[in-house]
Every structure is written in C-alpha cells, then in structure tokens.
Amino acid sequence: MPIISKNKPYSFIKNLEFYTIKRIKDMGSHPSQDHLNELLELFKQDLSIDLKREIASSIGRQLDDDIIYNFLKQEAFKEHYMEVVYQFLRTALYKSKDMRFAKLCDDLLQHYQ
C-alpha cells in the first residue's frame, strides 16, 4: 500500500469538536504540508458525513499532487458515502491535466457506473 503522508501521523488529534466545517474549509483555503497531513489523519476518524465530505474536498485543494493522488487511489474505491466519492471525483476531474488523475477519473466513473 502506498504511503500517503510524508510525515508522522498527527497523534494530537484528540479533540474532534475543534474541527468544524468552517475550520476544515479554512484548511483547504490555505494549503500547506501541515494542513494536508492533518486532513489525512482526520479523514481516518469516525466523523459525520458532512465533515468527511469537507475533509475530502480540502485534501483536494492541497498542493502535493503525489500525496493527493495516492490518497484518492487508496480511498476512492472503498466503501464511502456517495457525497464523499463525489468529492474524490471532483478532485480527480480538477487535476485531470495530470494523466494519473485523468485515468483515475475514468476508473471512478467505470467503477460507480
């Protein structure tokens, strides 16, 4: 399984009430390696569908396409709510100038047809 994050997991994520949709959107609006790592760790948590959807969207707004691609490839075909899968597809479409993401779009569309 490919490594998604280049850094150690964010073990400090304990107070999940801190993470609101607004906070997660802000993280997406201000891309950084720290935000990306935090979002990746948050995605693993048992959270509401609204938060998961926004986390997936904010991951897609980050700058490290290699990590984003590996995340999508690893998560997009697992059992997730369709609202989350739509965010995966939106990210892949947005980044589809990169052939990896274009192929992933095709694979997602075929898989969920």
Q: Is pLDDT above 70 for 10?
A: no
pLDDT tens track for 40-49: 999 999 999 9
Specify whether the CB–CB gap between 72 and 92 falls below 8 A.
Answer: yes
DSSP code, position 85: H
d(CA 24, CA 109): 27
pTM: 0.86
* Tokens 């989350």 found at: 84
pLDDT tens track for 46-88: 999 999 999 999 999 999 999 999 999 999 999 999 999 999 9
Domain ranges of the chain: 16-111
pLDDT tens track for 82-100: 999 999 999 999 999 999 9
Tokens for 70, please give them: 């590996």
